[in-house]
Structure 1
Amino acid sequence: MEEIKTDVLVIGAGSGGLSFAAGATQMGADVTLLEGHKMGGDCLNFGCVPSKALIAAGKQAHAMRHGAQFGVTPVKPKVDYADAKRHVHDVIATIAPVDSQERFEGLGVRVIREYGRFVDADTVEAGPYRIKARRVVIATGSSPLVPPIDGLEDVPFETNETIFDLMEKPAHLIVVGGGPIGMEMAQAHVRLGSKVTVLEGQKAMGKDDPEMAEVVLKRLREEGIEIVEGAQVERVSGKAGAIKVHTSSGDFAGTHLLMAVGRKANIERLDLAKAGIAHDRAIQVGADLRTTNRRVYAIGDVAGGFQFTHVAGYHGATVIRPILFGLPAKARTDHIPWATYTDPELAQVGLTEAQAREAHGDKLEVLRFPYHENDRAIAEGKTEGLIKVMVVRGRPVGASIAGAQAGELIGLWALVLANKLKIGAVAAMVAPYPTLGEISKRVAGQYYVPRLFESDMVKRVVGFVQKYLP
């Protein structure tokens, strides 16, 4: 077995691992990177990238059906589902070189295409290699959670790791799980011509602000998606092309089944106990992302908490500071944005309205502004939705957006929360006209309506000045 000594061993070449490895090696550290599966991890190969590419295909088909309001004759699109999937794979292939083994070796990273497992506190075995590292960063990500449902072992089903290789269009796709993955895939498929049923055991999009979620769910139902809430799956039966899902709300039949009920941390291969690393469903870390083994850090999905690609990248950048420079650093969560890329989109940063009311009570002010009062939204026929900003003593503590380009618009509010800016910073911004970005400025302006336009004191001052100022 070949012995390797390295400054930092990174286990996992997804967003977090690659972010750390690129930064660390360019700052002079000797970095070894292990990846037993695909470079780029879940996001590039099975998650963010392919899902958005398929969503884009669905949007094109949807636009062809809905041109009448713009004077464009609607047509029924001829959807080649296999070609839509080839578009997905072309997108992955275009982005892949940025995450490739060749690129990282060019940066100076030693890349080993093997899975790793701990043999002691600072040593990992990976294939024919035994690697001793001063510090270890675990960035193994997460995988689809497949619950132990009776009959599932005998029925073919898809997850986000397999559905992008499916080249035959489902006649009727049953989606189990009403969260972001399930809803994004449901809308993409109904727009590409499939019949779609979503089965959710509790509340669809239940982790989001209910008012915002309803904006999205209303549109999804209008597009023909059957969404059944409170439908706990009890059993599945059937065969390829004829699948039945038995739930507490009745039985549902379809041709294909997508399981989208959540994620589980990838810790099974690691032999964490041998390194003294505590874990339950994910690796236990402190605010500094350090595990119970002081030599080892865990970042991204495997550390629990928010399971987003951009969080993994943020974690990777955060642990650069303690590992390379011996300086303290802690990961925050209050400024982390996220988005669901349905149409309309839904985005959030910081506290929701309910969370803010619980935390701040009567000190909270909720500012609101609807899309239907934005000129650009009117021009483009995208008037569904609204923005809400939660403000305490003039400082935003959260923002929720449901509507067109919500994922883009939330970035401004992430900046505000990250830098603890006051609402006046956004109100003072001059946004180009006409843009959806004006929605943020207009909602910020709502903070001053009662203070300026509804204030008797202000009116008295204005009256005095107009009367006496020469």
Structure 2
Amino acid sequence: MRLRQTVLLLSLALAIGAFVALDLGRFLSFEQLKASQASFAQLHAEQPLTVAAVYFLIYVLATAMSIPGAVVITLAGGAIFGLWQGLLIVSFASTVGAVLAFLASRFLLRDWVEARFGQRLADINAGVDKEGGFYLFTLRLIPVVPFFLINLLMGLTRIKVWTYYWVSQIGMLAGTAVYVNAGTQLAQLDSVKGILSPALLGSFVLLGIFPLLARRIVAAVQKRQVYAPWADQRPKTFDRNLIVIGGGAGGLVSAYIAAAVKAKVTLIEAHKMGGDCLNFGCVPSKALIKSANIAHQMRHASNYGLSDAAPSFSFKAVMQRVHDVIKAIEPHDSIERYTGLGVEVLQGYGRLVNPWTVEVALNDGTTQRLTARSIVIAAGASPFVPPLPGLDEVGYVTSDTLWDAFAQLDEVPQRLVVLGGGPVGCELAQSFARLGSHVTQVEMGARLMVREDAEVSALAQAALQADGVQVLTGHKALRCELRPSTGIASAAKPSMDRHASHAMTNDAVATTHEKYLIVEHNGQEQAIPFDHLLCAVGRVARLQGYGLEDLGIPTHRTVQTNEYLQTIYPNIYAAGDVAGPFQFTHTAAHQAWYAAVNALFGEWKLFKADYSVIPWATFIDPEVARVGLNEQEAQEKNTPYEVTKYGIDDLDRAIADSQAHGFVKVLTVPGKDKILGVTIVGTHAADLLAEYVLAMKHGLGLNKILGTIHTYPTMSEANKYAAGEWKRAHTPQKLLAWVQKYHDFKRGT
């Protein structure tokens, strides 16, 4: 491949060099064409086929090598062959030449460009895959845009050759006709400028705008078609500007924005305001983590010059604190607050009846119907429960149900199996281990936290094991079993389940059977005894019960939306977990802005949801936080990168706090300080990450971070020192050698 690229490159270089050395460009001037018009006409009269073939070949070669003079050659086509024959020859010759230039660019340059700008090109290719032909057609209609530049740049994309050919053939036809026709009037022209009058240029611009107008017309037709089955149900007036289904982060922010801009908005929530994050996820888990970390610090008080102490506590009190924290934060997301902001809040289940109408089954048993110009679905997600045989018989909890279920226990779960090695599973496994549970964590994959780099996974596993978690990676859960008990002590322990229907209330069964999870590892089965089983293997979007299927809105794992978060109905949007691709509270709130603004003002301007800088964190100890690419993803995407790493074990504040572990790892564009991604492992990693999120969002490089004053002594200095490591690695050694000579000279040595 490299040999062929070299041969082609040398051939092009020689051809262009010969063109310049022999001054062949003089034959492609307007004056030379006018002077030779009579000779060309006579030659064509004598040998019409030969002249046509030679002309075709010259045109193809000139276009393929991007040689200036295409305008003059096109004029010559009209002057020699007349309008229709000239148009036929030039149209095909220009398209063939354009495709050859396109292929040369693809063959010579695309691999190199992909290696250096992989992520950017991937984003461009995504757009090309979707609408590349449309935009190519638009560019071809405007001759003001240099065609040779289009050939070279499009060759770097993944557009299909056949698509490129036929779109170019059609798109260049109008401009070609103008120049060929002008060539037939060559005797009356004084210069090329005589062709491109302001009026003609204006016409070309309008011609280029036409596809955009046509696209709007097509979109309007498609919109009309999708609404056609419901045309007789479209209200003449609307009760609301916006209806939001779901009171989690996505729904709350959508409703808040609508109320802030004085729109009439209704928020529908059947269960608890605040959604999963407040009631079952982020808030309770972080409250539990804090209690667990305090217990851990007490056991290791000698790290701070104190005496180690076994923490004495009531597990019920710990769980009560979790619920107290939820109650303390509840007012932020309460019905009272949002009503005060101008949001109508209805407690019930919302279901789409048609694209503008929502039927609300209120919790008091009544039903209400409301119409709205726009609707936002923000129904969130729920824990995925794997279809394990015997699971219902043994009972289980999820990350949603454990808070109420475990609140009934007098003591910490003795033998806890955590199924799943993702962030939620790791956080809860470590927390319960620190509170005194014997925790076994089962992960089917080869390592924990598989989305992170391998070294991060290894550190996470080591941290969990240090706290007593038995981590079983590469173990596939097969089934759950109840087996006769071999001892009364373990049999007497209470069992907690997903909900009441799964509770084991039969004391005889509870005292004569033990629970086991059967796993497979390296072809061998293994039975793991447990008292409580926590399923933490992921979450699935809530898609059922909202009328989506009745309206024909496509769903798979999430609601299918476009880049504006619109469903197939432009007035129905989705945001948060139900829309994907991320399942974070902060991304749900981020999407909610786009959904609400587009829903309320989309007829004037639509905004594409921006996922370019999305941070996330796993709150184990040490914390793991990341934004942008890590090494694993960069390699998968063939994105070139440099790695800069700073060990937090060298940081003064971390040493003073006896928390000197972890690192800051920054990926940058090779040779530049532009940040591609950051992974931080250590205490307060999620807080430290914010500086890099800001930098990436606003295009700031490591030099800016290095030049920013960071308070001493703080953990945030780790960010500055990481930037300093990058600077040290890119020190201009040759320049410093000359500086050293300068200093030697100043000393007179």
Q: What TM-score do you get using the length of structure 2 for normalisation?
A: 0.61
What is the 5 A alignment of 1:244-393? Answer: 244-249=516-521, 250-326=526-602, 327-359=605-637, 361=639, 363-392=640-669, 393=672
Write the distance in 2 (CA, Å) between the matches of 1:273 and 1:266. Answer: 13
For 1:222, the equivalent position in structure 2 comes to: 466
**Hey, what's the Cα distance between the residues in 2 that align with 1:281 and 1:154?**
28
Amino acid corresponding to residue 208 of structure 1 in structure 2: E
Query: Which whole-Å CA distance do the structure 2 matches of 1:225 and 1:16 have between them?
Result: 35
1:136–1:295: 8 Å Cα contact kept in structure 2? yes
The 2-side partners of 1:318 and 1:29 are apart by: 16
2:533 alignment partner, SS class: strand
Q: Is the 8 A contact 1:68 1:74 kept in 2?
A: yes
**Contact 2:644–2:667 under 8 Å retained in 1:** yes
8 Å Cα contact 2:374-2:600 kept in structure 1: no
Deviation at 1:389, TM superposition (A): 0.5
Q: What is the CA–CA distance in structure 1 between the aligned matches of 2:335 and 2:267, rounded to whole Å?
A: 10
Write out per-residue CA displacement over residues 153-207 of structure 1, whole angstroms, 9 at most, x where no aligned residue: 2121010111111121211110000111111111111111111000001121112
* Letter of the structure 2 residue corresponding to residue 271 of structure 1: G
Structure 1: distance between partners of 2:599 and 2:745: 67
Q: Do the aligned partners of 2:703 and 2:727 also contact (CA within 8 Å) in 1?
A: no
Higher relative contact order (CA 8 A, sep 6+): 1
Query: Does 2:356 match 1:122?
Result: yes
| Aligned partner of 2:340 among 91, 102, 106 | 106
Query: Given the alignment of the two structures, is residue 234 of structure 1 paired with residue 478 of structure 2, yes or no?
Result: yes
Q: Give the Cα separation in 1 of the matches to 2:317 and 2:696.
A: 42
Distance (whole Å) between structure 1 residues aligned to residue 474 and residue 461 of structure 2: 15
1:188 corresponding residue in structure 2? 431
Residues 1:449 and 2:736 are matched in the alignment: no
Q: Secondary structure at the match of 1:74?
A: coil
More displaced stretch, 330-339 vs 174-183? 330-339
Counterpart Cα distance in 2 of 1:372 and 1:389: 17
Q: Is the CA contact 2:267–2:343 (under 8 Å) kept in the aligned structure 1?
A: yes
Match of 1:95, as an amino acid? I
Question: Percent same amino acid at aligned positions?
Answer: 39
Among 690, 701, 706, the residue aligned to 1:427: 706
After superposition, give the CA deviation of every residue in 1:289-311 in whole Å (9 maximum; x if it has no partner). 11121111111100121100011
Alpha-carbon deviations, 1:223-271, whole Å to 9, x = none? 1100000111110122864321001131111110000000000111112
> How far has the Cα of 1:4 moved from its partner?
7.4
Listed one character per residue, the Cα deviations across residues 38-79 of structure 1 (whole Å, up to 9, x for unaligned) are 110000000000000001110111111001122100111112
Shift of the alpha carbon at 1:358? Answer: 4.0
* Counterpart Cα distance in 2 of 1:424 and 1:195: 47
Q: Deviations over 1:372-427 (max 9, x none)?
A: 11011111111121111000132101000111111111111111111122221111
Q: Which amino acid in structure 2 is aligned with residue 436 of structure 1?
A: M
How many corresponding residue pairs?
466
* Equivalent residue number for residue 34 of structure 2: none
Mapped pair 1:416 → 2:655:
no
* Aligned AA (1:5): D
Question: Who is 2:383 aligned against?
Answer: 144
Structure of greater Rg: 2
1:408 and 1:313 map into 2 onto residues whose CA distance is: 19
Stretches of structure 1 that go unaligned for 5 or more consecutive residues are: none
C-alpha displacement at 1:23, in angstroms? 1.7
Structure with bigger strand share is 1
| Aligned mate of 2:456, from 202, 208, 212 | 212
Cα deviation, residue 281, structure 1: 1.4
Pairing 1:89–2:315 present: no
One-letter amino acid matched to 2:274: G
| 8 Å CA contact 2:375, 2:599 repeated in 1 | no
2:618 partner amino acid: T
Using the TM superposition, name which of 407-416 and 82-91 deviates more.
407-416
Which amino acid letter does the alignment assign opposite residue 427 of structure 2? E
TM-score by length of 1: 0.96
Q: Give the letter for the 2:742 counterpart.
A: F
Q: What is aligned with 1:79?
A: 313
Q: CA RMSD in A?
A: 1.7
Higher-helix-fraction structure: 2
